[in-house]
Structure 1
Amino acid sequence: MDGGYAMEEKVLIIIPAYNEEESILSTYSTILEYNKTHTRQLTTIVINDGSTDSTENILVKNKIPHIKLIHNLGIGGAVQTGYKYAYEHGYDIAIQFDGDGQHDIHFVDDLVDPIVNKRANMTIGSRFVEGSTSEFKSTKARQMGIRMISGFIKIFTNVKLYDVTSGFRAIDRTLIQEFSMNYPTEYPEPISTTNVLKHGKKVIEVPVKMNERQGGVSSIHSWKNVYYMINVLMSIINIGIWRD
């Protein structure tokens, strides 16, 4: 089966990985399986973000393309490393894809098509829009936080998005260039999305299915939730005021 997008489009899957020894190989394997049934071949780069477990050994042993970061930069720094790689190697579309098994590779075409058809500069895989078959919705507390962030983004951009912390996202060449130079190190998904909208770029949510983590630890720990919420909301306010 072919995803139907133009042959000239070069698509890169960026997988930020921190201590993902339990799931990184199976995640990469799903991409290889995808390539067997699609004309468009997805290229993958794993960003090993200073893992202290066996992630690096697994990447080397299985010859998985990757960049090893000596120090842990966090999700923002790791993903930006991937965007720098995408820009320097001439990719047209970059897709952020978790290494923990949460994201389903079969929805890549749904993310890519609106960009190829020039209907969006960024697409976000969403569990909360009509058409999503995702049974995994995160915890009730986190869903409440997502709704609050969504409301603040709507206030300052006049655009309503629902899964604003989703790390399953695709961007076009113009945003690859922008993100390679300027990308938030903290709260990267909602903050970068707000910036994109304030710059007048088009963002579309597409329904996807997500799974629970296969292993590893979430980058947002429960004890940090209140701190996370206060700071991400303040950051959105600052962007909104500064851009206006």
Structure 2
Amino acid sequence: MASIKTISKILIIIPAYNEAGCIEKVVDNLEKNYPQYDYVVINDGSTDDTRKICARRGYNFMDLPVNTGLSGAIKSGMRYANYYGYDYVLQLDGDGQHDPKYIEDMITEMERTGCDIVIGSRFKTKRKPVNSRMIGSQLLTYAIMITTGGKYIGDVTSGMRLFNKRMIKRFGYDINYSPEPDTLAYLLNCGVKIEEVQVEMHERIAGTSYLDFKNSIWYMMKMFFSIFIFQWVRKREKGDKK
């Protein structure tokens, strides 16, 4: 029987904004240890040397002229994947936190369950640590449970996600779709099936997260508003649950 890797086309998309300190280690690891997977770096209008590094090293990359944010970078990658006919897209952060060794487990889970999205979860079989960031994550998990009839997603903020062909088209061309927890709630209420696979994540190789204390508070406010209020007025595609 043929393995998953020989019967499916998989593209890894790597959104990168000012990841000059990380991007070489991330891509070199893929090229050396996971050559069975195609990849594309989405340089999201970086102001550091991310683009120069990608060009100098001969990486496969798209160069967005301005910073569009994570949603815009993901949308660009999804359109690339759709154009070239990929069956799956794996979102892999450019900061070195996500380990590609779990990709095969995620694909196996998608094939086994027939789900639309698989999340690489730090908390599928492990408990969340007690700190301010994880408390915020847990609150978002509960918010999604409340608004989706009890559907549980343990790691709502994980950026390591596998998408099938249907989701590639939706995230690529529908304005309602962004890689955030509120979209997970919306998708669950649309009948989209989401599963999780336990993974381990590394510490960021270089740089800093944009979610400082002030931005984290604002982020949580936006997510709660969207989960509890805005998702109910978002347009649902034909055939989705009402």
Q: 1:129 to 1:14 in 2, by over 3 A?
A: same
Q: In structure 1, how many angstroms separate the alpha carbons of the residues matched to 2:83 and 2:144? A: 31
Per-residue deviation, residues 178-214 of structure 1 (Å, max 9, x unmatched): 111125587x321222222111121101100101100
The structure-2 alpha-carbon separation of the partners of 1:108 and 1:131, relative to structure 1 and needing over 3 Å to count, comes to farther
Whether the 8 Å CA contact 1:76–1:183 is kept in 2: the answer is no
Q: For 2:4 and 2:126, locate their aligned partners in 1 and report how far apart those are by CA, in whole Å.
A: 22
Q: Match of 2:232?
A: 241
Partner of 1:128: 123
- Deviation readout 1:149-168 (Å, 9 max, x if unpaired): 11011111131111001000
CA drift at 1:223? 1.4
Counterpart check, 1:93 vs 2:84: no
Distance 1:5 1:16 in 2: 25
Equivalent residue, structure 1, for 2:180: 189
Q: Which has the higher mean CA deviation after the structures are superposed, 205-214 or 234-243?
A: 234-243
User: 1:179 aligned to 2:178?
Assistant: no
1:140 deviates by 1.3
Give the one of 195, 212, 215 matched to 2:206: 215
Aligned-pair distance for 1:229? 0.6
Could you tell me how far apart the structure 1 residues matched to 2:129 and 2:91 are? 19
Check the 8 A contact 2:143/2:227 in 1, yes or no: yes
Count of residues paired in the alignment? 233
Tell me if the contact between 2:43 and 2:64 (Cα under 8 Å) persists in the aligned partners.
yes
Q: Is the 1:80–1:183 contact (alpha carbons within 8 Å) kept by the matching residues of 2?
A: no
Gaps (5+ residues) in structure 1?
A: none
Q: Secondary structure at the match of 1:94?
A: strand
TM-score normalised by the chain length of structure 1: 0.89
| SS, match of residue 6 in structure 2 | coil
Aligned-residue identity in percent = 34
Mapped partners of 1:138, 1:71: distance in 2: 37
Q: Does 1:44 align with 2:35?
A: no
**Alignment-mate amino acid for residue 96 of structure 1:** Q
Q: Which residue of 2 aligns with 1:59?
A: 54
RMSD: 2.1
From the superposition, tell whether residues 139 and 58 of structure 1 become closer, same or farther in structure 2 (CA, over 3 Å). Answer: farther
State how far apart, in whole Å, the 2-side matches of 1:55 and 1:215 are: 13
Query: CA–CA distance in 2 between the matches of 1:23 and 1:10?
Result: 26
Give the corresponding residue for 2:133: 142
Kept in 2: contact 1:121–1:172 (CA 8 A)? yes
Q: Is the 8 A contact 2:15 2:70 kept in 1?
A: yes
Q: For the Cα contact (< 8 Å) 1:121–1:175, is it kept in 2?
A: yes
What TM-score does the superposition give when structure 2 sets the normalisation length?
A: 0.89
Residue 161 of structure 2 corresponds to 169
Could you list the runs of 5+ residues in structure 2 that have no partner in the other structure?
A: 237-241
For 1:16, the aligned partner's letter is P
